[in-house]
């Protein structure tokens, strides 16, 4: 199987080989042909399997086949849940369109809208956007979506988790009825099916590698440890292992900040990435981490979701998530695109019930190792940490308020779903993007 045999045009093949890809990933091989045929496609494959190129390449192929229109109306719209993902998808669009006469831009909140508006006014073919800023600029009359031919919902499961259902529905009203729809998701749940049913027209559903395959190739370990000794242990692991690029997950933003400070005091370069950080600070932290000047990136789930950091060798759960699926997403940051990685979880007594839930989900027991000097506290309570016990509760971001916390008002289809309710509550607590 080659990219050429999928029917992609020469300028795209050139960009692909410049990027260094030799063969299409399984989800790309499955998704690209039906997209090229103009069909609606629902594609699900775990994080890190190359879904971005799965929609970007055929989208560029289709757009470049049609003649450029004089005023360059927006012909393709890609919605993503977070700013970082929007930026990443757009970076991909730019790379793959290098040898095509296609213009694109990206818009997201948290930064000045002026440069975004100026770029849109010049005329662009492809717009990558987060829902909030998109709706905002549309209602200001800065952009029109009336000529959209291809609509892409990327990371659709994240969109739902983050309470963007209403915003998606609003966007659907702004684009023409006759269009090609593509929906990409890491998971394929009942809610995703429901959303797909409401957006897609007679879709082709393609899937690649069940979620557990990744889980199996990642070297996973649990260190049972007393809660108060976690910081000491993580510093020991990173320094003694001489680990150079480590992604650490914490439960809260405060926790991320605290841990980052302690790492820095211990002489380990670290940066925190979470929703209370300015866009500039986040971009800087991520760039430093990718370059290698920042050894440890400490992140909350939402901030880290979908970040494309190739070949990440180590992921540490400073606290394990209380939503089992999040564990799979977290460790999906390691061993991307075939390379193997290591995922370590520091588990205190109050997290044991969450650990059992994770083991049930992934269908395997994770090896436990106790490190001398960092033993678990035999007297600690095994009462689970309640999601609501975070300090920064209730200071959710804007998007948060418009969707999640108004669930009780009805209308949000997710609200009926218990698991989602919990999840949303947790999202609120975490106080995300």
Residues that bind ligand ADP (CB under 6 A): 21, 24-25, 28, 45, 47-53, 306, 308, 310, 336-337
Which CB atom, from 50 or from 131, has the smaller least distance to ligand ADP?
50
Which CB atom, from 337 or from 364, has the smaller least distance to ligand ADP?
337
Q: Write the DSSP string, 315-370.
A: EEESS--SSHHHHHHHHTTBSGGG---EEEEEE-GGGHHHHHHHHHHHTSPPEEE-
Q: Which of 6, 46, 51, 162 binds Mg ion (CB under 5 A)?
A: 51
- The partner in contact with residue 336, picked from Mg ion, ligand ADP, none with C-beta cut-offs of 5 to 8 angstroms by kind, is ligand ADP
- The partner in contact with residue 25, picked from ligand ADP, Mg ion, none with C-beta cut-offs of 5 to 8 angstroms by kind, is ligand ADP
Cα–Cα distance measured from residue 320 to residue 358, given in angstroms and rounded to the nearest whole number: 9
| Cα 77–Cα 81–Cα 85 angle in degrees, nearest 5 | 85
Q: State whether residue 96 is helix, strand or coil.
A: helix
Stretch touching Mg ion by CB under 5 A, among 45-53, 70-78, 190-198, 395-403 = 45-53
Cα–Cα distance measured from residue 310 to residue 139, given in angstroms and rounded to the nearest whole number: 37
DSSP annotation of 385 reads P
* 141-200 binders of Mg ion (CB under 5 A): none
- Nearest approach in angstroms of CB 224 to ligand ADP is 31
DSSP annotation of 89 reads H
Which CB atom, from 22 or from 367, has the smaller least distance to ligand ADP?
22
- Nearest approach in angstroms of CB 237 to Mg ion is 29
- The partner in contact with residue 376, picked from Mg ion, ligand ADP, none with C-beta cut-offs of 5 to 8 angstroms by kind, is none
DSSP annotation of 185 reads E
- Nearest approach in angstroms of CB 389 to ligand ADP is 31
Does residue 251 belong to the site contacting Mg ion (CB under 5 A)? no
Kindly list the distances between the CA atom of residue 1 and the CA atoms of 25, 35, 310, 358, in Å, as whole numbers in the listed order.
10, 17, 23, 36
Which CB atom, from 264 or from 311, has the smaller least distance to Mg ion?
311
- The partner in contact with residue 44, picked from ligand ADP, Mg ion, none with C-beta cut-offs of 5 to 8 angstroms by kind, is none
- Nearest approach in angstroms of CB 30 to ligand ADP is 12
Q: State whether residue 221 is helix, strand or coil.
A: strand
- Which pair of structure tokens corresponds to residue 125? 């073919």
Which CB atom, from 55 or from 318, has the smaller least distance to ligand ADP?
55
- Nearest approach in angstroms of CB 66 to ligand ADP is 25
Check: CB of residue 348 under 8 Å from CB of residue 382: no
Check: CB of residue 312 under 8 Å from CB of residue 293: no
- Nearest approach in angstroms of CB 137 to ligand ADP is 25
- Nearest approach in angstroms of CB 158 to ligand ADP is 10
Residue closest to Mg ion when measured from CB atoms: 51
- The partner in contact with residue 50, picked from ligand ADP, Mg ion, none with C-beta cut-offs of 5 to 8 angstroms by kind, is ligand ADP
| Binding residues for Mg ion (CB under 5 A) | 51
């Amino acid at each position: 199987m080659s990219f050429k045999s999928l029917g992609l045009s020469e300028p795209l093949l050139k960009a692909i080989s410049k990027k260094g890809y030799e063969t299409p990933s399984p989800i790309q091989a499955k998704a690209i042909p039906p997209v090229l045929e103009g069909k609606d496609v629902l594609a699900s494959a775990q994080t890190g399997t190359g879904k971005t190129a799965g929609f970007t390449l055929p989208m560029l192929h289709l757009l470049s086949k049609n003649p450029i229109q004089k005023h360059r109306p927006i012909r393709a719209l890609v919605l993503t849940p977070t700013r970082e993902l929007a930026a990443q998808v757009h970076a991909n669009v730019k790379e793959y369109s290098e040898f095509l006469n296609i213009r694109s831009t990206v818009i997201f909140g948290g930064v000045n809208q002026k440069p975004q508006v100026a770029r849109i006014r010049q005329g662009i073919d492809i717009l990558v956007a987060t829902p909030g800023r998109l709706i905002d600029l549309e209602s200001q009359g800065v952009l029109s979506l009336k000529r959209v031919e291809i609509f892409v919902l990327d990371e659709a499961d994240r969109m739902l988790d983050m309470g963007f259902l209403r915003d998606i529905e609003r966007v659907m009203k702004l684009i023409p009825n006759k269009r090609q729809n593509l929906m990409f998701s890491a998971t394929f749940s009942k809610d995703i099916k429901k959303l797909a049913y409401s957006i897609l027209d007679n879709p082709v559903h393609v899937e690649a590698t069940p979620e557990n395959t990744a889980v199996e190739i990642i070297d996973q370990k649990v260190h049972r440890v007393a809660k108060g000794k976690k910081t000491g242990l993580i510093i020991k692991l990173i320094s003694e292992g001489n680990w150079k690029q480590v992604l650490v997950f914490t439960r809260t933003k405060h926790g991320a900040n605290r841990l980052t400070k302690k790492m820095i005091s211990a002489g380990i370069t670290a940066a925190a990435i979470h929703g209370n950080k300015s866009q500039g600070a986040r971009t800087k932290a991520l760039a430093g981490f990718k370059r290698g000047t920042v050894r440890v990136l400490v992140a909350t789930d939402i901030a880290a979701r979908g970040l494309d950091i190739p070949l990440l060798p180590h992921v540490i759960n400073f606290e394990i998530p209380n939503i089992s699926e999040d564990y799979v997403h977290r460790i999906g940051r390691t061993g991307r695109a075939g390379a193997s990685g290591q995922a370590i979880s520091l588990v205190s007594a109050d997290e044991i019930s969450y650990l059992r839930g994770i083991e049930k989900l992934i269908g395997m027991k994770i090896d436990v190792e106790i490190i001398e000097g960092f033993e678990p506290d035999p007297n600690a309570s095994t009462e689970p940490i309640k999601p609501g016990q975070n300090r920064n509760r209730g200071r959710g971001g804007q998007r948060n308020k418009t969707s999640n916390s108004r669930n009780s008002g009805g209308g949000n289809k997710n609200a009926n779903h218990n698991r989602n309710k919990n999840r949303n509550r947790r999202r609120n607590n975490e106080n995300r993007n």
